[in-house]
Amino acid sequence: MTGKYLEDLHVGDTFESDTFSVTEAGIIEFARDFDPQAFHLDANAAQTSVFKGLVASGWHTAAMSMRLFV
């Protein structure tokens, strides 16, 4: 999606991006640096969270999305 400006984007527009692999180690590394909460850092502790398992930080997913978008 190169060469577009904000004004060129419309509701409903779609695009395909590259893929991005997410690993447990990557989730933990990002969380350790930027969002150190138990359900991002410790798979066992995450079992007692609302997510019932290790989950990537919202900031991590936003960063991945930005990397794929830009």
> In whole angstroms, what is the distance from residue 39 CA to residue 28 CA?
9
The predicted structure's pLDDT at residue 56: 97
Amino acid at 35: D
Q: What pLDDT is recorded for position 3?
A: 73
Q: What is the pLDDT of residue 15?
A: 82
- Note whether residue 41 is domain-resident: yes
Question: What pLDDT is attached to residue 29?
Answer: 98
- Evaluate whether residue 2 is within a structural domain: no
Number of domains in the chain: 1
Is position 56 within any domain? yes
Question: Quick check: is 29 in a domain?
Answer: yes
Q: Is 53 contained in some domain? A: yes
| Structural domain harbouring 29 | 21-69
> What is the distance between the alpha carbons of residues 37 and 27, in angstroms, rounded to a whole number?
11
Residue 4, in any domain of the structure: no
Contact 24, 46 (CB under 8 A): no
For 10-69, the pLDDT digits (tens) are: 999 998 889 999 999 999 999 999 999 999 999 999 999 999 999 999 999 999 999 998
pTM over 0.85: no
Asked if 54 contacts 24 with a C-beta cutoff of 8 angstroms, the reply is yes
